[in-house]
Amino acid sequence: MLGYRSMVWAALSLTAVAFPAAAEIGLPAVFGNHMVLQQQTDAPIWGWGDPGERISISAGWLDRPVSCTVDDEGRWMTSLPTPRAGGPYSVTVAGSSSIAFTDVMIGEVWICSGQSNMEMPVDYVGPGYWGVIDYEKEIAAADYPNLRLFTVQRTVSTEPREDCTGQWRQCSPETVGSFSAVGYFFGRDLHEDLSVPIGMICTAWGGTPAQAWTDYEAMKTLPNWAGRLRDVDRFRADPNAFENEYRVAVTKWQEACRAVDAGLKGGWMRPDTDDSAWKTMDLPKAWENDKLGNFDGVVWFRTTVDVPDEWVDLKLVLELGPIDDWDVTWFNGLKIGAHDSGNVWQVDRSYTIPSGVVRAGSNSITVRVIDTGGGGGIYGRPEQLRLRRGDSKDSQVIALAGEWRFAVGAALSDLPPRPRQKRFNAGTPTSLYNGMIVPLVPYAIKGAIWYQGEANRSDPADYRTLFPTMIGCWRRAWDRGDFPFYFVQIAPFNYTLHGNQPSNLTAELREAQFMTLRVANTGMAVTMDIGNPRDIHPRDKRPIGERLARWAKAKTYGADDLVCSGPLYREMKIEGDRARLFFDHVGSGLVARDGELTHFTIAGTNGEFVPAEAVIDGDTVLVWSDKVKKPAAVRYAWSDAPDPNLFNAEGLPASSFRTDMPME
């Protein structure tokens, strides 16, 4: 169990990665007041100290201390045998100095990880994260002092890190709002049902792919990733090499854009620009909802603002809210800020205006917005669009929401391809594994829950091997056997609303997740009924957490009679001109919610799928079409954003599927 941490320490000793100085004993942030330790196990505990120093650890449930010696590298590790769930206890780590932890509980510890749908908190925090359904009531009722919450701060690292930033908190109306909604509902369900303390450790980051959460050695086993791993090697050797190359390439790209963008050629950022012939748009608003439809490219926005005399010599701040995707902003012709690379469409823009630029009376504001696909525009809330005094955030503001003038600078198709920036970031293979997983290893856990997949939608075939590889590398790291790993199948979402061409990529990604159930001790929460085709972050997170908890209760905690999943396709048999489908997890029976079964298609040997009739027949479904005399394959809910209606009697939806599923 302790081997992986020793391996990490050995690797760290060969790098320049910093770890806490050994002037006094120290422990990683995951050890602290209010923590939960996994019950009935040997729970690893580790830290730093002076070489040769004797470390003694006392715990309220132990008859005698546990001790170990700091090694020559200034590190120590041992384990605490833990009793059945209970507490609170105290734990004291003593050497040349001492650290005492109070209110320590013994119970069940789970990791919750993934991208934005796992990171999304209970509370409303702004664009993209609008809060769960009834978030005010959920927060007010979240008084569970023996449910403990730990959030790992976002961290990217080229090398395995020894520590993270975060702290344990008791679940309360004051603390739950910022915690993962899925993690909270999962932990709350287990806490109420098992009547034991629950510790939830959230390590998640929106928009991140599975390869970022996978270690280097595991990624090396995947041939498709050899090129990206060479980039990782180069980042480690010379962090500035790619940045220097990118700057040169961007300079050339900007010069090429000037020849195409009418705004750059015409100097539309100048205060005296004649915009009288420009069209108008009420902002904030995504331009798909107004005058531009699905336009991708460069749009220039202009407005004027009257500044009072007494503000002229003050520091002012221009706030624009989020902009999709990039922007460059000028005030009276002076560039005051830009977000012109990376994944910044959710970032609120706030730019300080230097002294001497503002004049009494009319001042011009120009924003060049570049949309590279999907939604576009200055799209936040009206109150986010404002000019304010730098010494005041809540008063002394001038509202800027309302009518702005706009003109198209260039269509995306007319611009030269923007250079791809190679950065070691949250999307780079190994980056988040190093920064946000390694610091937690080998903290004793019961299992993990996972909600991710949208960021890998473009290559679902690769995900069939990548995702199981990631699960395997986590299990090897913790060295706790095939611990439970329960994940969420991504929800329906209409990508065509964001400029994408119609495709079945989302269905194929869901299929890749379905195929991952072949990995031992895994389970999948299906979300076909609770997605939002217009919002990639569905707000109905409570049933997602509860469905994950069903898997845990049924497969981890012995509730053998609990139905933990909706129907999952198993096999098909052809009966004349009809196909009969068999399912696992039928529960008390199959159900067609709200009428007849929908979203079935069928094909003959020519592979052309047509809409099909479907009826429930006992624990099976019969599918047919008058246009197909010799059925060969059936598909169900096989699209990006279906709204299908096959359930079991327990109210759990069936996963989308195709009977012509790849066999690998």
266-304 pLDDT tens trace: 999 999 999 999 999 999 998 986 778 889 999 999 999
Are 177 and 132 within 8 A, CB to CB? no
For 55, residues 6+ apart whose C-beta sits below 8 A from its C-beta are 25, 47, 49, 67, 68, 69, 70, 76, 78, 93, 94, 95
d(CA 188, CA 172): 12
Tokens of 96: 């040349």
For 411, residues 6+ apart whose C-beta sits below 8 A from its C-beta are 295, 296, 297
pLDDT, one tens digit per residue, over 305-339 is 999 999 998 889 999 999 998 999 999 999 999 99
d(CA 380, CA 292): 17
Q: Count Cα neighbours of 663 within 13 Å in the Cβ-side half-sphere.
A: 1
Tokens of 220: 């090396």
3-state class of 658 per DSSP? strand
Per-residue pLDDT at 17: 44
pLDDT grade for 393, boundaries at 50, 70 and 90? low
For 147, residues 6+ apart whose C-beta sits below 8 A from its C-beta are 170, 171, 184, 187, 188, 191, 197, 198, 200
Per-residue pLDDT at 581: 98
Whether the bond between 322 and the residue before it is cis, its omega within 30 degrees of 0, is: no
In which region does residue 121 sit, left (phi positive, over 0), alpha (psi from -120 to 50) or beta (all else)?
beta
Are 7 and 79 within 8 A, CB to CB? no
Q: Is 176 exposed, middle or buried (0-12, 13-18, 19+ CB in 10 A)?
A: buried
d(CA 296, CA 328): 16
pLDDT, one tens digit per residue, over 396-431 is 899 999 999 999 999 989 988 878 777 789 999 999
pLDDT grade for 16, boundaries at 50, 70 and 90? very low
The percentage of residues in the chain with a pLDDT greater than 90, rounded to a whole number, is 80
Per-residue pLDDT at 448: 98
pLDDT grade for 7, boundaries at 50, 70 and 90? low
Cα–Cα separations (whole angstroms), residue 314 to 157, 162, 430: 40, 45, 46
Per-residue pLDDT at 15: 45
* Average pLDDT for 349-361: 92
pLDDT grade for 242, boundaries at 50, 70 and 90? confident
Q: Is 126 exposed, middle or buried (0-12, 13-18, 19+ CB in 10 A)?
A: middle
Cα 383 → chain centroid: 27
pLDDT at position 241 over 90: no
The percentage of residues in the chain with a pLDDT greater than 70, rounded to a whole number, is 95
Are 637 and 597 within 8 A, CB to CB? no
pLDDT at position 375 over 90: no
pLDDT at position 163 over 80: yes
Are 105 and 35 within 8 A, CB to CB? yes
In 3-state terms the chain splits into helix, strand, coil percentages (rounded to 5) of: 25, 35, 45
pLDDT at position 162 over 90: yes
3-state class of 104 per DSSP? strand
Q: What pTM, to 2 d.p., does this model score?
A: 0.79
Q: What are phi and psi of 167, to 5 degrees?
A: -155, 150
d(CA 80, CA 521): 26
Q: Which residue has the higher pLDDT, 234 or 58?
A: 58
Per-residue pLDDT at 335: 96
* Average pLDDT for 599-616: 97
* Average pLDDT for 655-661: 96
pLDDT, one tens digit per residue, over 634-644 is 999 999 999 99
Nearest to 349 by CA among 376, 383, 384: 384
Q: Count Cα neighbours of 326 within 13 Å in the Cβ-side half-sphere.
A: 15
pLDDT grade for 4, boundaries at 50, 70 and 90? low
**Computed over its alpha carbons, how large is the radius of gyration of the chain?**
28
How open is the CA angle 207-213-219, to the nearest 5 degrees? 125
Q: Count Cα neighbours of 15 within 13 Å in the Cβ-side half-sphere.
A: 16
- Please report which helix (H) or strand (E) contains residue 119, including its range: helix 116-119
3-state class of 17 per DSSP? coil
- Range name among 222-226, 245-249, 519-523, 618-622 with the lowest pLDDT average: 245-249
| Pairing verdict, β 522-525 and 129-130 | unpaired
All structural domains of the chain:
3-226+427-556 (3.40.50.1110), 269-410 (2.60.120.260), 568-658 (no CATH)
| Pairing verdict, β 447-451 and 98-114 | parallel
Per-residue pLDDT at 1: 44
Per-residue pLDDT at 569: 98
d(CA 60, CA 56): 13
Per-residue pLDDT at 23: 56
Compute how many other C-beta atoms are within 10 angstroms of the C-beta atom of residue 396: 16
Q: Taking all residues of the chain, what is their mean pLDDT, rounded to a whole number?
A: 93
| Pairing verdict, β 144-151 and 168-171 | antiparallel
Cα 365 → chain centroid: 34
d(CA 649, CA 646): 10
Q: What is the DSSP string of 370-393?
A: EE-SS--EE-S-GGGSEEEETT-S
Are 139 and 177 within 8 A, CB to CB? yes
d(CA 326, CA 291): 19
In which region does residue 550 sit, left (phi positive, over 0), alpha (psi from -120 to 50) or beta (all else)?
alpha
Tokens of 192: 């109420």
d(CA 62, CA 83): 9
pLDDT, one tens digit per residue, over 55-79 is 999 999 999 999 999 999 999 999 9
The structure tokens 């950065």 sit at 423
- Please report which helix (H) or strand (E) contains residue 10, including its range: helix 3-12
Per-residue pLDDT at 300: 97
Tokens of 283: 């902002």
